[in-house]
């Protein structure tokens, strides 16, 4: 197994992409520490991993609060003994107002969740990795950072910040044998879209996702958490030992144009 004996700390691992990563990593032998504010879902994900024969623990944590992040990292270290892999997955947005209507609170909340949280976890995990001269850090950005599909300036700006954060950290930590890379997911069918389609029935939801696939994705399908998890697995394993500072789109071909737009 690719992650046998490794300990992975996954933020936002209770649902969606983070849950997919936790399940995939556990299949490959990792002990998964899930840090999330969604207690019920996080505990359910940890229990699901254990029922399948894996190892997991749940850490209740608001990833935007420094004291809670520090406590979560300390608890993960105490209970698991080490942290080999950090997946900064937590993120999201609540709405897409035009810039002139966006409140300062909405801007600050979005940047805190999507960018500040990654800084906070790295602040406390990196010293542990430096001490052992080993580590894998995977930061989740978004294809919206380089090819915005909509005017979501708070979210896309935060995700663009993740790219800069990743490149800087990769350079700084290379001499400590710590690999730092970023994944840019394209459209993935998760709860991320709930603020926008929550009122739709099942048929309308499917039409919504089919519309995105046909109009925007060259591979003509919506991504799954498993698609992102498989890329994360490569970056978390020693298969990628000579890979650092990479910004990897896992986006079905976006920003390439769909074939029908060219003919």
Cα distance between residue 138 and residue 118, in whole Å: 10
- Is residue 209 a part of any domain in this protein? no
The percent of the chain in helix, strand and coil, each rounded to the nearest 5, is 55, 15, 30
Total number of domains constituting the chain: 1
Q: Is the separation of the CB atoms in 138 and 235 below 8 Å?
A: yes
Tell me the residue range of the domain where 119 lies.
7-192+224-256
Does the pLDDT value for residue 246 go beyond 80? yes
Average pLDDT estimate for 140-166: 96
Which residues are marked as active site?
155
- Is residue 200 a part of any domain in this protein? no
- Is residue 96 a part of any domain in this protein? yes
- Is residue 213 a part of any domain in this protein? no
DSSP string, 155-222: HHHHHHHHHHHHHHHHHHHGGGTEEEEEEEE--B-SGGGHHHHTTS-HHHHHHHHHHHHHHH-TTSS-
- Is residue 237 a part of any domain in this protein? yes
CATH of the domain at 251: 3.40.50.720
Report the share of the chain in percent with pLDDT over 90: 86
Which one-letter DSSP state was computed for residue 223? B
Model confidence at 262, pLDDT cuts 50, 70, 90, reads low
Q: What is the pLDDT of residues 188-227, one digit of tens each?
A: 988 777 776 777 788 888 888 888 888 899 999 999 999 9
Query: What pLDDT, on a 0 to 100 scale, did the predictor assign at position 263?
Result: 54
Does the pLDDT value for residue 261 go beyond 80? no
């Amino acid at each position: 197994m690719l992650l046998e004996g490794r300990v992975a700390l996954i933020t936002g691992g209770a649902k969606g992409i983070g849950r997919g990563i936790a399940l995939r990593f556990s299949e490959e032998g990792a002990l998964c520490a899930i840090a999330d504010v969604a207690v019920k879902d996080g505990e359910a994900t940890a229990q699901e991993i254990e029922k399948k024969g894996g190892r997991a623990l749940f850490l209740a944590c608001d990833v935007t609060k420094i004291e809670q992040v520090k406590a979560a990292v300390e608890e993960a270290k105490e209970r698991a003994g080490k942290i080999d892999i950090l997946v900064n997955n937590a993120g999201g947005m609540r709405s897409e107002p035009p810039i002139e209507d966006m409140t300062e609170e909405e801007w600050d909340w979005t940047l805190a969740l999507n960018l500040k949280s990654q800084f906070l976890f790295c602040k406390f995990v990196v010293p542990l990795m430096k001490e052992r001269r080993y580590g894998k850090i995977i930061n989740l950005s978004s294809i919206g950072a380089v090819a915005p599909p909509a005017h979501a300036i708070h979210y896309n700006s935060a995700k663009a910040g993740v790219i800069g954060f990743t490149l800087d950290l990769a350079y700084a930590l290379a001499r400590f044998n710590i690999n730092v890379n970023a994944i840019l997911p394209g459209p993935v069918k998760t709860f991320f879209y709930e603020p926008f389609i929550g009122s739709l029935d099942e048929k309308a939801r499917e039409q919504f996702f089919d519309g995105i696939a046909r109009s925007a994705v060259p591979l003509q399908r919506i991504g799954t958490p498993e698609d992102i998890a498989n890329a994360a697995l490569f970056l978390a394993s020693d298969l990628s030992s000579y890979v650092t500072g990479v910004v990897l789109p896992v986006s079905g071909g976006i920003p390439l144009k769909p074939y029908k737009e060219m003919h």
